[in-house]
């Protein structure tokens, strides 16, 4: 599972490669993002409601399934009852925190189907991403080459989600995104054998993801070829830090 990545290119490079027609003003360029973590805002290029492709800052973590939230609330209720406390389960369920789902693997799930159409597709710019090496207990960073060229995750997004991410902040409304994963290639599989992000490297792939029917776009949910990635850092939470 990829829960950490970096993006250090300027917004013009992102807009040029992803053909974004609208976005933040050129005078307010993005700072480098050497470490992007779940539930924080990050740049994405999305198909906006008026049909314009735009660059925007959106929060990382799509809504979790209703079943997952219900199960979490049930566990919380059981713990409270075990302590002899009364439980209003309806209110407990309404306020159950949803930490968000960062990675989407099973695109045949009914939970994800509403967001697989063109209107809810996005691409997420990156220059490197990290997978955690549980044996060495450290992050391992991968990029397309040591100079970390721009690439994109194939993602989905939703507008105006309303819910609870953290109990202390209560109910919030936010636009959210996540990106797809697939089986790993050789380089990532040596560290994380379960999955790797779906990465798009060519303009034609970006166009397919952003415009094609799902029957065609779904073919992009595949790993990069073996040898397409190199390890660029290890043992740091932000790419570019010294271990």
Tell me: do 83 and 30 sit in the same domain. no
Tell me: do 70 and 58 sit in the same domain. no
Query: Is residue 174 in some structural domain?
Result: yes
Tell me: do 209 and 185 sit in the same domain. yes
Tell me: do 68 and 86 sit in the same domain. yes
Contact 22, 54 (CB under 8 A): yes
List, for residues 54-88, the tens digit of each pLDDT value: 999 999 999 998 888 889 889 988 898 999 888 88
**Coil, strand, or helix at residue 51?**
coil
Point out the domain boundary residue: 97, 121, 142.
Answer: 97
pLDDT at 95: 85
Task: Record the tokens describing residue 107, joined without a space.
Answer: 């695109």
pLDDT at 194: 95
pLDDT at 25: 61
Tell me: do 76 and 125 sit in the same domain. no
Query: Is residue 104 in some structural domain?
Result: yes
**Coil, strand, or helix at residue 57?**
strand
Tell me: do 171 and 103 sit in the same domain. yes
Query: Is residue 194 in some structural domain?
Result: yes
Instruction: Give the domain extent around 46.
Output: 5-62+99-234
Query: Is residue 15 in some structural domain?
Result: yes
| CATH code for the domain of 34 | 3.90.1680.20
Tell me: do 146 and 170 sit in the same domain. yes
- Give the whole-number percent of the chain exceeding pLDDT 90: 76
List, for residues 22-56, the tens digit of each pLDDT value: 877 654 578 899 999 999 999 999 998 888 899 99
pLDDT at 65: 87
Would you say residue 1 has pLDDT above 90? no
DSSP-derived secondary structure for 147-198: T---EEEEEEEEEEEEEES-TTT-EEEEEEEEEEEE---HHHHTT-SS-EE-
- The more confident residue out of 221 and 65 is 221
Contact 148, 128 (CB under 8 A): yes
Tell me: do 42 and 140 sit in the same domain. yes
pLDDT at 60: 98
Tell me: do 90 and 201 sit in the same domain. no
Q: How many domains does the chain have?
A: 2
Please report which confidence band the pLDDT of residue 182 belongs to, taking 50, 70 and 90 as the band edges. Answer: very high
Query: Is residue 242 in some structural domain?
Result: no
Tell me: do 126 and 87 sit in the same domain. no
List, for residues 103-149, the tens digit of each pLDDT value: 999 999 999 999 999 999 999 999 999 999 998 999 999 999 999 99
Query: Is residue 240 in some structural domain?
Result: no
Tell me: do 221 and 174 sit in the same domain. yes
Residue 221's alpha-carbon distances to 5, 22, 217, in angstroms, are 19, 27, 8
β pairing state of 138-143 and 151-164: unpaired
Query: Is residue 175 in some structural domain?
Result: yes
Query: Is residue 241 in some structural domain?
Result: no
Tell me: do 147 and 202 sit in the same domain. yes
């Amino acid at each position: 599972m990829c829960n950490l990545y970096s993006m250090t290119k300027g917004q013009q490079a992102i807009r040029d490669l992803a053909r974004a027609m609208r976005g933040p003003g050129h005078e307010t360029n993005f700072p480098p993002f050497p470490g992007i973590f779940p539930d924080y805002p990050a740049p994405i290029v999305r198909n906006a409601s008026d049909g314009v492709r735009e660059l925007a800052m959106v929060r990382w973590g799509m809504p979790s399934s209703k079943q997952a939230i219900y199960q979490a609330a049930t566990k919380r209720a059981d713990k409270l009852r075990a302590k002899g406390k009364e439980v209003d389960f309806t209110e407990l369920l309404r306020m159950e925190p949803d930490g968000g789902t960062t990675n989407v693997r099973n695109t045949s799930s009914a939970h994800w189907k509403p967001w697989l159409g063109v209107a809810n597709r996005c691409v997420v710019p990156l220059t490197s991403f990290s997978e955690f090496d549980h044996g060495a207990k450290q992050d391992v960073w991968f990029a397309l080459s040591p100079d970390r060229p721009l690439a994109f995750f194939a993602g989905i997004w939703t507008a105006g989600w309303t819910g609870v991410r953290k109990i202390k902040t209560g109910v919030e409304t936010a636009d959210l995104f996540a990106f797809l994963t697939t089986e790993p290639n050789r380089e990532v599989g040596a560290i994380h054998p379960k999955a790797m992000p779906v990465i798009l490297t060519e303009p034609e792939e970006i166009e397919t993801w952003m415009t094609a029917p799902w029957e065609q776009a779904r073919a992009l949910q595949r790993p990069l070829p073996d040898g397409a990635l190199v390890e660029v850092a290890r043992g740091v939470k932000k790419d570019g830090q010294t271990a």
